[in-house]
Each structure stands twice: as structure tokens, then as C-alpha cells.
Structure 1
Amino acid sequence: MVVVDREKWASKAEFILSSLGYCVGMGNVWRFPYLCYRGGGGAFLVPYLLMLFLCGVPLYLLETSLGQFSSLSAISIFKTMAPALKGCGYAILLVNFIVTMQYNLLISYPILFLWECFKAAVPWKTCGNSWNTEKCVPVNQNNASAIFALNANLTQAEKFKTAADEFFHNQILNISSGPSEVGEIVWPMFVINILSWIVLFLCVVKGVKSVGKVVYVSATFPYLILGILFVRGITLPGAWDGIKYYIVPEWNKLLNLEVWADAACQIFFSVGPGWGGIINMASYNNFDNNLKTDSTFLPIVNCGTSIFAGFVVFSVLGYLSNRTGIPVESVATGGPSLAFVMYPEAIGLLPYANFFAICFFLMLYSLGLDSCFVQIETIITCITDEFPKLRKNKHIVAFIVVFAMALGSMMFVFQNGMYLIQVIDWYSSPLTIILVCFCEVIMVSYCYGLGNIIRDIEYMLGIRMGLWWKVCWKVINPLVLIFIFATVLKYNTKVTYNGVEFPDWAIILGWLSSLVSLLLIPGYFIYKFITVKGSFTERTSLCLTVHDWGPADEVTKREYQAYKNKMI
């Protein structure tokens, strides 16, 4: 086992806030509310909450236990518990690297909006600016519904665009006509991208010492802003019409398999198992930290935040519908268009629009910042755990990692950058993360042994673990993960953005970004099996047998060995 001189969180609060900041990201604001609306409103909460308690909480507890017990990151845990599955750790590292590159661009957009918020009036309210075209129309009560009705009969090229739509796509993104038109460097985005990487480097340069201090602001500030926007939103005319679209259940939607797949995927990509971040943050905990409480509290708060954010979003969309006469279903959308077109459109109609816009975009940046620096810290820790001699120069490792990702992210600062971001976001991570989680539960439940991991947790916490956790890890989690993997393959339709269909080369690029990490898992397994010596049975045993698993601290490890011997 790799023994490392492990840093520790300065306080329990730092771990809780870091974990909360990691889980709660921009997807809670722009993805969950739309999925809930599309999946049957309140009815969507049935599969969502079921998946939370069947998979989200058990997997969160499992990963927290592995990290806290061993004080190791993902690569080292897989290497120690089942050497042939070390490829899962490499896959985690690569997925974090790829996703963080494009995610940093997404959190740069709010900064570009913030710059514009300090003008006398928010510039996405009006046409007649240098970035507007003859298709631009300002949304107001007199023309909006007529424009939306007219657009229904027009091609994408002929459609009218709202002022907010043109501001985001023409001014912020300076977007090209499609992925194949690379265009020029968008210089404001180039500069903000670099500044954002500098901020991220400063957040991670001292490891958990710096991360733990930043999260006191970055993890709590979004809740303050959500509260302000919620109070303002529900007091607006038409707010409750929007909220009704969000919460009124359509029970027939539960018969649609895709709704269940959406609920499961949202749990995985918001709670965060399989990404290595949960393991990494838990590895800095004290050995006897009450992780059972943490692992229930944090996923529930994360999901509660998503539900609460839905009220914030749909109350304002209801107001937009009320002011313009456009039906709520026509303004309800998900992804970047919700955050950077529809919501700013609605804010622009408010009194004191600048203030609420500043609040909203600061919140988006804070939400994204937490997720980014935990992903970067996960990569750094994986590297320094794999090569312990580098720990004394961790700041240099941090610089190299951040610099490499900053360099890679430059592909997204061209005019076709948003199209590439959509391709990477759509294809790169889902299948790999689901396969990592599947390998993880199989490794723990069947290779290491369910009884052994339960014994380890009980020794660490001094409490008994109920039957529920055993059933989840051994039976429910593997079956649910197989279901999710199959449905992601089935419903993974071609990606589009802003009405533009992507060419074949872009789809191939997307699948390559997925396969390059996905194939590391079986690839390393085959490599390990071939390189070890012995018969087929002996090789299998060597590949899937635990090697020197236990606490990192030598005193605790000796006590643990004595405890194990007593249990035999």
C-alpha cells in the first residue's frame, strides 16, 4: 500500500463546504429544473428521489468510506483493492481533465456578462447594437407572442432572434454558423479564460489548505443569491403560472423509460460518484469522522438545492410568460440557453435589472468555480499519490496540471467553441463514469468482499451498518448501473445546438472523447492480466485480489490488523 504524508482538513466545516460546493454546480440551476418540467413536473420527483436513495446515497457513502479509510485517491484505491481495475483510476483522471477544460469556459461566460452589467442598462434588452442583425427583435408585451408564432413556420436561418439571444451568441460567443467554421479567436473570451485559470490555480496551489478557505465563500454565496432571487421571483406577476408548470405532476410521464434514465443520470452527475472527487475529499478526513451522517446529508442537500433552484427559475420564466404572452412551455429550456438567454431575458424586464443580473451571474460563477477546483485537486492528488516523491513539490504539479488544461481549453475560444463544448459535454463522460461506478461496486462487493468493507466501516466509525447498505451495494447498485448504461446508449441521440445539426466529424470527435477514457478500463485489465505470471486462475486471483489494504497511519493500521485478527 502507498503510504503518504496526508494533509487534513482544518475543520469538519471545510470538508462539508467543499463537498457541497463540488456537488452543487451549474447543472442544478440549468439542467435539473428543465428535466423536472420535461419529465412530468412533480411526477419526476418519484424516480429522482428513488434514484437518490437507491444509488446516490449508497454510492456516496461507499466512496467516502474508501477515501477516508485509506487516505488515498481513486487511482491508488483501485490499484490496492483490485490491481487490474487500476484503469478505472486512469479513466477518472482523464475524464476530469477533459471535462474541466470545457467547464472552465462555461464559468467564464458569467464573467463576460458581469462586465456588461455595470453599464447604465443591461445591453441584452435592446436591438440596434453593433452585434445585432436585422432579425433582432426586443421582447416586449406587444410583439413577443406574435414573433414566437411566426418563428414556428420559419427555418432556423429565417427565424427572428430576441435581443438576449443575439447578445449571447453574437456578442459573448461571436458564434460561427456551425462546428466546421472555426472562425477567429474571440479575444474577450481568450482573456477571461486565462484569468479564470489563474483563479483556479490560486485556489488549488496549496491543496486542501487553500481549497478549504475558498469554500467558506464560494460554497455559501450561491445560497444567499438563490434566496434573494427566490424571494424576488415568487413576488412577480405570473410567477405561480411558471411554478405550476414545474411542480404539477403528469403521472403518465412515468411510463416513459427515458424519464427514469434522466432521473438516474441527473443523480449521478450532480451527486458525483465515479468522478473521484468524493473519494479525494474524504481522503483528507480524520479516520473516525462520522461519514455516515455526511454521506446522507450532502446528497439530500444537493437534491434539495436542485428542487429549490427550480422554483427560482420557473417563477421568473412565469413572469417572462406573463409579460410577453409567450406560453411557459415555449420559454422553458435547459442548458446554456436557459442560463444565458431566457433567464437574462426575464431579468432584463425587471426593475433594477442590473442588480439582479449581477447576483445571478456571480452565483453561476461561484457554482462552477467549486466544481472546477475540486476536479483539478482530484487530478493533482491522483498524480501525487501515484508518485509520492512529488508531494513536496505539489505546487509545481498544480501549475503543470492547470497550465496543461489551460492550453487544451484554447480550442474552445474560437468562434466554433460552443459547438465543441456541446460535443464534449454530450459524449465525453457519461458512459465512462457509469462503468467506473459499476467496476467500483463489483470490486468492493465481490472482489474485496461485502463483509470486509462492512467490517472496515464499522471499525472506522464504531457503529453497526444495516442490511440496507449491503443489499444496495451487492444487488441494487449493479442492476441500476447496468440499466443506466443501456439507456444512455439507447437515448444518446445526435447532439444539436441552437438549431444547428452537427456534422459527422463532430459526432466522431465526441465518441472518441468518450472512448479514449472508456477503453482505459478494459485495456488496463487486459494489460495487467497478460503481464502477471501464472495459470489462468492464478492470474485472475492476482489481478482481482486486495494488496495491503488498510489505514495509512501506521499506528491505526496496527490496531486495525489486531481487530481483523480478532474477527477471524
Structure 2
Amino acid sequence: MDQTPEGQIRSQDRSGVRTDPESGQILSQDRSGVRTDHMAQKEKLQCLKDFHKDTLKPSPGKSPGTRPEDEAEGKPPQREKWASKLDFLLSVAGGFVGLGNVWRFPYLCYKNGGGAFLIPYFIFLFGGGLPVFFLEVALGQFTSEGGITCWEKLCPIFTGIGYASIVIVSLLNIYYIVILAWGLYYLLQCLQRELPWARCRHSWNTPNCVEDTIRKNKTLWLSANVTNFTSPVTEFWERNVLSLSSGIDEVGELKWDLALCLLAVWVICFFCIWKGVKSTGKVREWDRGREGGREGGRDCLLLGCLNSGTSFVSGFAIFSVLGFMAQEQGVAIADVAESGPGLAFIAYPKAVTMMPLPTFWAILFFIMLLLLGLDSQFVEVEGQITSLVDLYPSLLRKGYRREIFIAVICVISYLGCFVFSLVKYKPLTYNKVYEYPDWSIGIGWCLALSSMICIPMVVVVKIIQSDGSLIERIKAVAAPVKGASSRPKECVLKNSELLHPLDPNGTYALTKHAHTVVETTM
């Protein structure tokens, strides 16, 4: 009710229509009355959001990003966001810190001069590694897209870089997880009363197997004229775990115990990534305008230092053990220092047999090995899945399709491991003796070129699909796509608010320090 200047009292009903109380004549009508149906629809969606946020929980297997309000409006499911910066940092650190920090960096540092190796290491770290890593993080933050669609938006002619990276990651996912299967197999073997690689009384041992306690008695084994002896650790690795054949032409039988370990690791990987970056809880997206760039640089520097620091700590631990082994066996460190799986599955298992409570230390070591490899595997598989899902978001982000797609990728990678082993496998300790046939070398080159060929091939395809002359086509596919940035339009300053007086067109427009919080329940 309100009082008019003439003293008449007017009333307003809930629909927004104002009438004269005496004559009943309609005096005015609010715009809200015209859009009653639209407001009702918005209220319905808001109620649905509140109900979903407060009471509903995702059903098992529900694809992340699938919200009722999106389904009601017919929109494709939204992309997941990190819950906090700490989640992002820990995930990237998990991908950074892997098995190479334990078995590759210490060995390379030792073989290339020790402290002198750190000079070129830091030059390439700060001159190449960190800038490229910052570029990758900046591209992801700017476009909020995967590895393929990111280049499709920024520079379509270089979309082949995204496809090449996916090919590399796909091949990496196939063979990297085999190392985790070996680690799981060793971990299960540690549950016995005695470590199986500590003695020479098993079915896989040969007459040349000599235990370390006997080897220390040089008079005994010299009198026995033992010239080609092997350790029980080496025979356990080569004859029991790998079952090495005479050459690549001899495939051998399928080892079901390792196949089951590989399947178990793939199942663990699937259930750890099937819900995406977050399974439950509120997901918040912070948009800090210009501050995001400075924070991104600090994050990259922090993660790079974390990766290098982990390598240094691993080097101290690894070579303290190798020095102990060399002292116990009376040999030089070069005779016990190895790189790659030889360090993880031969040198270190041999070292734990010389320690008190060997089973306890072996369990801890292989648990560490599994954790280091699994988090790296999660990041690689998640990156592969995200890039492929971003190509068809409306198709693969609905319902259970994303989970089914992840399961298909895991199954294909699991089965592809056996095919990949036929063309890529080589004896780890006899590669300087055995010569590969020419056909296997050709297959290896095909695998190496499978990723590099993507870049020029996509360049040619993009140019052919464009219109105009050759120069016009190259300019068209080399320019960013409109709307490449994922930043909301309201965060960009208007011309009247520009802090740069020489930029009236907004080419170098600065952004507001906005703090946008988007909350959903996955």
C-alpha cells in the first residue's frame, strides 16, 4: 500500500499489478508481472541448487561436474575445479616426484662427476625446465582446457602438439605401470617369513648361485673354482620375476602372477581417478585477476625446488646404502651402483638383506616405491583422460560415461602392455651383449615417430581445412580463437576504468582483483 499525491490509496498484488481501490482500474504493471513464468523457472532452479547442495550426495559413479541445474537447463556438465591451491600443488608434486628421483638422478649425478653435474643441472632447470613448466601451467589456467583443446583455442595450427603429448602419455601409461606391478609383486613376497631373494635354495636358483655369506669366504669359493657365480637377488629378479628368455624372438609364457599384479594396480588406478580431482565436498574456484599470475610463478618455483630437493635427499639415502654395500662386499661403489630397475629390484633388495629386520625394511621400501609410482601414474592417466574428454565434453561428461570411458582406457592400456612388451622389451642387464634384430629396431622407430608425426600432420590438415590463399590460411589457423580465455567478461575493466592511458582499445587491459567463489557438490 502507498499514498499518492492526490490522497488516493493504491494497492499492489503479488503479480505486480497496481489498481485503484475505488474504481478497480489497473493503474500500472511491474515488469516482474510480465516475466512471472521466467522468475518461477529461476526460483525452481535455485531451489534445485540449494537442495542439491545441502541434502543430496552424489551416487556412486556419478560423473563429476554433472549437476541437476545443468541437466534442467540442457547445458553440458561443468568442468571440475580444484578445491584449493594445496590440492593443486600436491597433485602436481605427485606427478613431478616419481621413480626417476630415486633411481635415475643419483646415478646420473654419480656417473657425471658428482658436484660438477649440478652446474649444468641448475642451468637447464632455471633456463629451460621451470619456464616451460610455468608456460604449461599458465596455458591451463588461461584456457581451462586439456592438452588438445588448449592448443585448438590458442593456435589451431599447433594442435598437433596436444595430440603428440597424448600419444606420449598413452605409451608412457602402458609401460610405466609395469614397474608398479613389479613393486607390488615384491611387496607381496616380503610377507613371507624369510625374504625369498636372501637364499639360494629355491626352484629358480642355478648351481652358480652363491650367497653373500659364502662369498665373503674367498678361500671357500676360490677352492671350489667358482668363476661365474651370481647372487640370489639377481637370480630372483631375472629368473623368477622376469623369466628372461634367450632373445626378443622368444616370447615365452604368460606369467599369471605378474599379470594379476598388473591388473590389481590398474584397478587401484581406476578407482583413484574415476571421480576426477574431487569426489565429495565443495569445489571452489578463486579468480584473483593479476594476482594469479604472480602466484602461478611462485607455485612453479616452489614445485621445481621441491622436485630437485627430493632428488638430492634420495641421492643421499641411495648412496649411503650403496656405500655400505660396497664396504661389506669389499668392492668399489661403481660395481654396485646401478640405474633404473636394477637399483630398485637388485641393489636395494640386496641391501635390505644385510640390515637387521630385513623384512620390515623391505616392506617400507616397496611401499614407498608403489606410492611414488602410483601418484605419477594417476597424474598421467588423468591428463590423458581430461584431454580426450575435453574433445567431446557434451558426450563424455554426462552420467556414467566418463567412468566407462576411464575403464575402457585402463583395459586397453592393460591389454596393450602385453603387445607393447613384445616390441619394446629388452633385457635390463644384457643390452650390451645381445643385438636386436632389424625388425624390432624398425618397430621401435615407429613408436618413437608416432608422437612426432602428429605435429606436422595436424599443421597440414588445419591449413587444408581453411579457406583463402596460403598466407591467409596460415594466418587464420595461427591466430587465437575468440573466447580462448576462461576468465569471466565482467572481470575485464572497461575503457573508462583502464589503468593504461595509452591503451584505449583494451589490448593490454588489466583485470579487476575479483574473488569469485563457485560452489558445487560433486
Q: TM-score range by the shorter chain?
A: 0.7 to 0.9
Going from structure 1 to structure 2, the CA distance change for 1:92 and 1:159 (only over 3 Å counts) comes to farther
Show the 5 A alignment for 1:201-216: 201-210=270-279
Corresponding residue number in structure 1 for 2:82 = 9
In structure 2, what residue type is equivalent to 1:89?
A: G
Instruction: Report matched runs for 1:129-278 at 5 Å.
Output: 129-140=202-213, 142-143=215-216, 159-210=228-279
Equivalent position to 2:320, from 296, 315, 320: 315
For 1:72-471, list aligned pairs within 5 A. Answer: 72-140=145-213, 142-143=215-216, 159-210=228-279, 286-288=286-288, 289=292, 290-389=295-394, 390-392=396-398, 393-411=401-419, 417=421, 420-421=424-425
Secondary structure, in 3 states, of the residue corresponding to 2:278? helix
Counterpart-to-counterpart distance in 2, 1:146 and 1:502: 40
Structure 1 distance, partners of 2:466, 2:318, is 55
Q: Distance in 2 between matches of 1:386 and 1:302?
A: 31
Contact 1:178 1:419 survives alignment (8 Å): no
Q: Which residue of 1 aligns with 2:130?
A: 57
Q: Distance in 2 between matches of 1:47 and 1:113?
A: 36
Q: By how many angstroms is 1:556 displaced?
A: 5.2
Q: Percent identity?
A: 37
Distance apart, 1:148 and its partner CA: 12
**Aligned residue for 1:19?**
92
User: Structure 2: how far apart are the matches of 1:323 and 1:401?
Assistant: 47
Could you say if the C-alpha distance between residues 539 and 418 of structure 1 is closer, same or farther in structure 2, counting changes exceeding 3 Å? Answer: closer
Give CA deviations for 1:157-176 in whole Å, capped at 9, x if unaligned.
x9432110110111111221
Residue 82 of structure 1 aligns with an amino acid whose one-letter code is: C
CA distance in 2, matches of 1:537, 1:419: 43
CA 1:186/1:92 → structure 2, altered by over 3 Å: closer, same or farther?
same
CA contact (8 A) 1:173 1:418 kept: no
What's the counterpart of residue 28 of structure 1? 101
Aligned equivalents of 2:433, 2:285: Cα separation in 1: 47
Retained in 1: the 8 A contact 2:215–2:221? no
Q: Shift of residue 139 of structure 1?
A: 2.4
5+ long unaligned stretches in structure 1: 214-283, 427-494
Could you tell me which residue of structure 2 aligns to residue 566 of structure 1? 506
Change beyond 3 A, Cα 1:39–1:285: farther
CA distance in 2 between counterparts of 1:6 and 1:343 reads: 43
Q: Is the 8 A contact 2:214 2:220 kept in 1?
A: no
TM-score where L is the length of structure 1: 0.68
- Structure 1 residue 11: Cα displacement: 2.0
Partner residue, 2:116: 43
Give the CA deviation at 1:80: 1.1
Task: Quote the residue 2:67 is aligned against.
Answer: none
Counterpart residue type for residue 566 of structure 1: G
Does the aligned pair in 1 maintain the 2:76–2:397 contact within 8 Å? no
Please say if residues 153 and 480 of structure 2, whose CA atoms lie closer than 8 Å, have aligned partners that are also in contact: yes
The structure with more helix, counted as a fraction of residues: 1
Residue number in structure 1 paired with 2:62: none
Give matches, 1:61-72, under 5 Å. 61-72=134-145
Residue 66 to residue 4, structure 1, CA distance change in 2 (3 Å): farther
Letter in 1 for 2:477: C
8 A Cα contact 2:237 2:345, kept in partner: yes
Contact 2:210–2:230 (CA under 8 A) maintained in structure 1 = yes
Residues 1:193 and 1:39: Cα distance change in structure 2 (over 3 Å): same
Secondary structure of the 1:160 match is: coil
In the other structure, the counterpart of 1:267 is: none
Q: Is the 8 A contact 1:91 1:520 kept in 2?
A: yes
1:233-257 per-position Cα deviation (integer Å, ceiling 9, x unaligned)? xxxxxxxxxxxxxxxxxxxxxxxxx
Structure 1 26/514 Cα, relative in aligned 2: closer, same or farther at 3 Å? same
The offset of 1:178, in angstroms, is: 2.0
How far apart, CA to CA, are the structure 2 residues paired with 1:341 and 1:91? Answer: 34
CA distance, structure 2, for counterparts of residue 516 and residue 546 of structure 1: 27
Partner of 2:466: 532
The aligned length equals 417
Residue 248 of structure 2 contacts residue 426 of structure 2 at CA under 8 Å; is this kept in 1? Answer: no
Pick 1 or 2: higher relative contact order, CA cutoff 8 A, min separation 6.
Answer: 1
Q: 1:182 to 1:384 in 2, by over 3 A?
A: same
Equivalent residues of 1:147, 1:160 under 8 A apart: no
- In structure 2, which of residues 434, 437, 441 is the aligned counterpart of residue 507 of structure 1? 441
Deviation per CA, 1:434-470: give whole Å up to 9, x if none: xxxxxxxxxxxxxxxxxxxxxxxxxxxxxxxxxxxxx
Change (3 A) 1:498 1:209: farther
Per the alignment, residue 492 of structure 1 pairs with: none
Listed as ranges, the gaps of 5+ residues in structure 2 are: 1-74, 509-522
| Cα 1:358–1:419 shift into 2, 3 Å | farther
Rounded to whole Å, the distance in 2 between the matches of 1:560 and 1:35 is 54
State the Cα distance separating 1:545 from its structure 2 match: 1.2
Q: CA deviation at 1:210?
A: 4.7
Deviation per CA, 1:251-306, whole angstroms, max 9, x where unpaired? Answer: xxxxxxxxxxxxxxxxxxxxxxxxxxxxxxxxx97443421111000011101111
Query: Hey, what's the Cα distance between the residues in 2 that align with 1:329 and 1:317?
Result: 9
Give yes or no for the alignment of 1:547 onto 2:481: yes
Name the residue aligned to 1:521.
455
The structural deviation recorded for 1:79 is 0.9
Structure 1 residues 91 and 567, CA, compared in 2 at 3 Å: closer, same or farther?
Answer: closer
In structure 2, distance between residues paired with 1:399 and 1:524: 28
The Cα shift of 1:566 comes to 3.0
Post-superposition shift, 1:410?
2.9
Q: 1:133 to 1:287 in 2, by over 3 A?
A: farther
Kindly provide the amino acid, as one letter, of the partner of residue 80 in structure 1.
K
Partner of 2:24: none
